[in-house]
Amino acid sequence: MVVSIIVLIFCLLGFAVIHSVLASLPVKRFIRRSLGSRADDLYMPVYNIIAVLTLIPLVYLLYKNPGPFIYIVPSPWRWFMVGGQIIVAIIGPRALRDAPHRFKLKGQLSAPNTPEAGHLDIHGIYRWIRDPFLFSGLVFMCLTPFMTTNLLIIYILTTIYLVMGSLHWESRLLAQFGDEYREYQKHVRRIIPRLKPYYEK
């Protein structure tokens, strides 16, 4: 059991390292220098494909070595939880669609208040929450209708990584949009959604 947990942790660490390196500004600068404007359209699809591929070994190992069960939620409640997971799984693609300009390399590598950095342009899901990826990830894990020892450890480490990644991403957005993003932070929470949508003044 201890060996399987160690292997799972190393798989998660491997994913985190690859994910973080590809998201770093030096790598993004290198990609944009190499590919030019084509990098803006190619980066996110390739980045997401690599993320999925590097997660496959972790999912497979969890499937083969889940560890002892801590609990299993009975029917019909488990199906409500699965339904909730499906709903929050839609948030990720929606968040990408609602703010594609945030993920363009040209904007991320630009100084605030420049034409290249662009305008924050709050709409869609970002009117309710600042980090829909963190929110959907946390809710998805909480709604898992069963729990094993190995899965719990991976979820705890994943939560830490998601929170750290969210803080890092917000620092990037502050660097890109400056005071415009600071004003947005005053009105919209990072994790807990607003009850009413926010509209830019």
pLDDT in tens, the chain (201 residues): 677 788 888 889 988 999 899 888 889 889 988 888 888 888 888 888 998 899 999 999 899 889 999 999 999 999 999 999 999 998 888 888 898 878 888 888 887 777 777 788 898 999 999 999 999 999 999 999 999 999 999 999 999 999 999 999 999 898 888 888 999 999 999 999 999 998 876
What pLDDT, on the 0 to 100 scale, is given for residue 201?
Answer: 65
What pLDDT, on the 0 to 100 scale, is given for residue 192?
Answer: 92
CA distance 190 to 32: 29
| Contact present, 117 and 48 (Cβ < 8 Å) | no
CA distance 112 to 193: 26
How far apart, in Å, are the Cα atoms of 167 and each of 164, 170, 174?
5, 5, 11
Say if residue 5 is exposed, middle or buried (CB neighbours under 10 Å; 0-12, 13-18, 19+).
Answer: middle
CA distance 124 to 97: 9
What pLDDT, on the 0 to 100 scale, is given for residue 48?
Answer: 87
H-helix or E-strand spanning residue 16: helix 2-23
Q: 141 in helix, strand or coil?
A: helix
What pLDDT, on the 0 to 100 scale, is given for residue 39?
Answer: 86
How far apart, in Å, are the Cα atoms of 121 and each of 75, 100, 139, 184?
43, 10, 26, 10
CA distance 111 to 177: 8
Name the DSSP class of 194. Answer: P
Beta-bridge mates of residue 69 = 148
Residue 72 — φ and ψ, nearest 5°? -135, 120
CA distance 49 to 40: 15
| Contact present, 144 and 81 (Cβ < 8 Å) | yes
What pLDDT, on the 0 to 100 scale, is given for residue 1?
Answer: 63
